[in-house]
Chain A
Amino acid sequence: MELDVHVKVRPDIGAVLGRLGPIWRRELLSAGATAARIEIATHIRRQSRFHHKTVERLNKRTAGFTATATGHLEKGAARITSRTYPDHAVVSVPIAGISRAFRDLKIQAKKAKCLTIPLSSASYGHTVREMQRLGWTVWRVKGRDLLMGRLGNDQAQMLYTLKKQVVVKKDRNLLPSDDSMADAINGAMATAIRAALTKEVS
C-alpha cells in the first residue's frame, strides 16, 4: 500500500531544485527523504508509548494470562526506509493500517467470514488458527458473535468477538503533522545546499 503525501517545499529551495540537473536534484532529495524518515520514525516511536491501551485493558480483564504488546508500531518505526529518484522521493512505512493517519480505516473480512477481535490476553496478537495450533479448543457460541476457547482442562474463556467489519477512526497523530514534515525536509535540503556551497568555496 502506498500513500501519496505532498509536502510544501520552500519557494527558494523549490527554485533551486527546478534549475538543477537530475544528479544534484536526487542528492538534495535524498537529504529531504532521510529527514522525513527520521521525523516519521521518531514520531511513531513516541506515539507507540500511548498505544498500549488494548493490551492493558485485556490484561486487567483476563486472569491467568498476561499479554505483551505486539509492538507493531515500534517494529514498523525501526523498519522505515526511503528511496530517492531524480524528481521525487518515497518513504516506506511498513505498518499495516498506517493509512488511518489520513482517513478512517474500514477493515472487512476477506478470506474468513468474520473478523476476530480479541477479548482476552490469551488471544491478543494471535489468529484463531494459531490459537488452535497452540492447543486451544475454540468454538462459536450458538446464536452469538462470540468465540470461546479452552486450553486443556482450564476454564473456558471468551477469546474473540466476531464482526463483519470494523471502522478504525482516523488518528492524524500516528504520523507527524504536515508542518513538521515540511520543516524537517526543507531544513535538511537547505543544510545540504549550504554544505555543498561551503565545500565548493573552500
Chain B
Amino acid sequence: MTAEDIIRVKELLPTTLGSVEIRDAFPRELLERAIFSARMASVSYLADVRDVCARMMSGEISEAAARDVLGGVLERMGHSPQDEGGLSNPASIRRLNLILETQTQMAASVAVLQEQTAATVGIWPAWELTRLEGRSAPREDWPQRWNAAGEAVGWDGAARGGRFVALKASPIWQALGDGAGGFKDTLGNPYPPFAFSSGMGWEDVGREECERLGLLAPGEEPPRPAGVSLAPDAEELRRVVESCGFDISEGL
C-alpha cells in the first residue's frame, strides 16, 4: 500500500480523552490503524484530517494548505488559534502541525516497513535513528531513551553507546515506542515518530556498517522485521457479525 492508501484506510476514532489516557485506554493495534486526536470527538473533523493527510502524502497539497483547511473547519466548530491552551487547543498552529506531521510520518514508516524484502534487508539490515527534521526545542534525552530501550530488551540486535543503530528486526524499536524507561510522550509504535512532535527518523544502514558495529557476523543472515498489518483483527469482525443479530455463516 502507498502511504496515501495507508492513511485513507484508517478508521476514525473520536474521543474525549487526553493523549496519555488514549494510550492507556486503547490497544496499540487499534490506535495504529486509527485517526485520532486528543479530546477531539468530532467524526467529521477527523475525516477532514484523514483527507488532508492523504493529500499531503500524494504531494497534492503542502502542510500550510492542509492546516488552512483544518483551521477553517475548526473555526466553524467555534475554535480559534487565539484561544488559550497551546498544544491542547485544537486550532493552534502547533497542534495542527503535530497531527499532520505525526499522521504522515506514521504512514510513511508503515509504507517503508511493508516494502522490506529479503533483498532490502540483506543490503540494509539496520536502521539508524537520527535527526531528520529540525525542531526549535529538540529533545535532548534520546541517549537516555535509547539506553533504557536497549536495557529493556537486553540489547538484542542493537548497538550500545554512541549511534542509535539496531537491526530492523530488533525489539528495541518497540521498546522505544513503548517509552521504556518511563517516557510518557511516546506513541506505542515500533517505528517513527517514536514520540510526539519528534523530528527523529530512520535512515537505512548497510551490511558492512552492521558488521563493523558487531550487529551481524560475516555471512550471518539478517532477520527480517515483522510486517505491519493494518488489517482489523478477527475479534472485531466477530463483534460486528454478532451485532447484526443473524447467522451469517449460512450465507457464506
Contacts and interface: CB of A to CB of B under 8 A. Distances in A.
Interface of A: 1, 26-28, 30-31, 33-35, 37-38, 41, 45, 68-72, 74-84, 90, 92-96, 98, 125-127, 129-130, 133-135, 188, 191-192, 195-196, 199, 202
Given A76-B59, A96-B59, A127-B68, 6 more contacts: A27-B117, A34-B120, A34-B204, A70-B63, A94-B108, A195-B119
A186 B39 CA distance: 49
How big is chain B's contact interface, by range? 35 or more
Contact of B3 (A28, A69, A79): A79
A45 B115 contact: no
A30 B117 contact: yes
- Which of A70, A77, A79, A133 is packed against the most chain B CB atoms within 10 Å? A79
B111 interface: yes
Contact of B134 (A74, A93, A134, A196): A74
A127 B55 CA distance: 18
B57 A94 contact: yes
Interface string B5-36: 00000000000000000000000000000000
B128 to A, nearest CB: 12
A1 B57 CA distance: 10
A27 B122 CA distance: 11
Interface string B73-102: 001000011100000000101000000010
B122 A192 contact: yes
A159 B143 CA distance: 42
B241 interface: no
Contacts of B120: 30-31, 34
- Which of B67, B117, B203 is packed against the most chain A CB atoms within 10 Å? B117
Interface in B111-128: 111-112, 114-115, 117-120, 122-124
5 contacts: A30-B117, A31-B120, A81-B108, A133-B71, A191-B122
Contact of B64 (A45, A77, A125, A199): A125
A31 B108 CA distance: 18
B61 interface: yes
B115 A34 contact: yes
Contacts of A80: 108
B225 to A, nearest CB: 13
Given A129-B68, A133-B81, A195 B2 contact: no
A76 to B, nearest CB: 8
A35 B114 CA distance: 16
A95 B65 CA distance: 12
A164 B175 CA distance: 52
Interface in B44-66: 56-65
A82 B62 CA distance: 20
B127 to A, nearest CB: 12
A92 B57 contact: yes
Nearest to A72: B62
B72 A199 contact: no
Given A30-B119, A83-B2, A195-B119, A98 B59 contact: yes
